[in-house]
Chain A
Amino acid sequence: DTEVTQTPKHLVMGMTNKKSLKCEQHMGHRAMYWYKQKAKKPPELMFVYSYEKLSINESVPSRFSPECPNSSLLNLHLHALQPEDSALYLCASSQGREGLAKNIQYFGAGTRLSVL
């Protein structure tokens, strides 16, 4: 089972709304990631959680706030977004940081976000 589940699949929000994206995996992975992908572009890393601690923040604006309540869950809280934040938001997970040879990241299907 290499499933990463993201909800919702689609989200439309206004610039004053507060919403959250959710990601869940039950593979025992200890690293989880948020990516943003614009059309015809590769995924861009936003955040990395390793063992429930934020280890990488790729200079993401504070209107995006990640949260890792436990090792299986990853949230992305959204507030006061801009229309240019409209994109596909992808969650991924991998085994962790123990110098593994592979540490393959497995992706969810993404949340298609539209900011009006």
Chain B
Amino acid sequence: DQQVKQNSPSLSVQEGRISILNCDYTNSMFDYFLWYKKYPAEGPTFLISISSIKDKNEDGRFTVFLNKSAKHLSLHIVPSQPGDSAVYFCAARDPNAGNMLTFGGGTRLMVKP
């Protein structure tokens, strides 16, 4: 039973264009959502987060949108750069489970020069 899903295993985007990575969840108790970026042979790096009481959070080229009624969040990267090529994991925090994070399966983003 996957509570956090990233339905696109991979995404290819041209440099300079927008990358949109999607994430769906089922547990309405999740109160915080995070995006991590992972390069090969490295640990996940925290990228951006959003509280469940907000619908948008922006940090430079990265914006996360949350649609609570649809239980859907997305990460927008504008403009995309080749260095953004990595695996992106969305994670959700359950305050009723010791603030554990539940991760989605990841989306591999490839930004072509």
- On A, residues with C-beta under 8 Å from B are 2, 4, 6, 31, 40-43, 45, 48, 50, 55-56, 90, 92, 94, 97, 99, 101-110, 112
Contacts and interface: CB of A to CB of B under 8 A. Distances in A.
A45 B101 contact: yes
Contacts of B51: 101
Interface string B87-113: 001000101001111011110000000
Given A42-B89, A90-B43, A110-B42, A48 B32 contact: no
Of the four ranges (under 10, 10 to 19, 20 to 34, 35 or more), the interface on chain B belongs to 20 to 34
A41 B104 CA distance: 9
B100 A56 contact: yes
A24 to B, nearest CB: 14
B44 A56 contact: no
A26 to B, nearest CB: 16
Nearest to B100: A45
B74 interface: no
Given A41-B105, A42-B104, A97-B98, A109 B43 contact: yes
Contact of B44 (A40, A55, A90, A101): A90
B41 interface: yes
Contacts of A4: 43
B49 interface: yes
Interface in B39-59: 41-46, 49, 51
Contacts of A50: 98
Contact of A56 (B32, B36, B89, B98): B98
